[in-house]
């Protein structure tokens, strides 16, 4: 990371990944074009789980090339400056790199879907039936490397 002074700790990065509502998954389509799609996700046990369809561009790309990246960010306030090239803003972001795979293990799939329910619909937590999970596609990004970066500095004028 070029700006080591802005690096987030491992725990700060994990917290951002756990709380962010939407992430962006970067994949490669079968024809070689890049593909970035916003997704709902959960971060658990060092992996990123993504609710998916068994068909469509995301599934095609994931089965074509397992290399993937994932990004979340939390923009903040604009930090004014005296010149346009010096304007900045506060933010936190995380980027993960790894391989994507389809979750086939029924117990892992149910656990991931339960994590989705806990994150997005807490009232439905504990209601994922294995039969319902069987008809749902879940992708898993096995994280090989993750970095977090922030700018929380206020500028004096």
pLDDT 10s digits, 91-142: 899 999 999 999 999 999 999 999 999 999 999 888 888 888 888 899 999 9
Q: Using one digit for the tens of pLDDT, what is the confidence trace for 42-78? A: 999 999 999 988 888 898 899 989 999 999 999 888 8
**Right CATH for 4-150 from 2.30.110.10, 1.20.1530.20, 2.60.40.2230, 2.10.109.10:** 2.30.110.10
Q: Which residues contact 95 (CB under 8 A, 6 or more apart)?
A: 69, 70, 71, 146, 147
Q: Using one digit for the tens of pLDDT, what is the confidence trace for 146-156? A: 999 898 875 44
CA distances from 69 to 1, 96, 117, 128 (A): 16, 5, 24, 28
- Number of Cβ within 10 Å of residue 56's Cβ equals 12
DSSP for 103-151, please give it.
---HHHHHHHHHHHHHHH-GGGTT---HHHHHTSEEEEEEEEEEEEEEE
Say what the pLDDT of residue 7 is: 80
Say what the pLDDT of residue 156 is: 44
Say what the pLDDT of residue 134 is: 86
Say what the pLDDT of residue 154 is: 56
Give the pLDDT band of residue 157 (cuts 50, 70, 90): very low
Q: Which residues contact 83 (CB under 8 A, 6 or more apart)?
A: none
Question: Taking the domains of the chain in order of start, what are their residue ranges?
Answer: 4-150
List beta partners, residue 60.
Answer: none
């Amino acid at each position: 990371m070029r700006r080591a002074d802005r690096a987030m700790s491992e725990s700060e990065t994990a917290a951002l990944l756990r709380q962010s509502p939407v992430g962006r998954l970067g994949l490669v389509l079968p024809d070689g074009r890049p593909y970035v799609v916003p997704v709902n996700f959960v971060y658990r046990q060092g992996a990123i789980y993504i609710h998916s369809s068994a068909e469509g561009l995301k599934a095609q790309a994931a089965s074509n090339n397992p290399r993937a990246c994932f990004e979340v960010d939390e923009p903040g306030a604009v930090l004014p400056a005296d010149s346009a090239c010096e304007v900045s803003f506060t933010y936190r972001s995380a980027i993960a790199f790894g391989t994507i795979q389809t979750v086939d293990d029924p117990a892992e799939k149910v656990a991931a879907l339960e994590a989705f329910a806990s994150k997005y619909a807490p009232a439905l937590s504990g209601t994922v039936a294995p039969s319902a999970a069987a008809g749902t596609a879940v992708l898993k990004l096995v994280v090989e490397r993750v970095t977090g970066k922030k700018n929380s500095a206020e500028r004096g004028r």
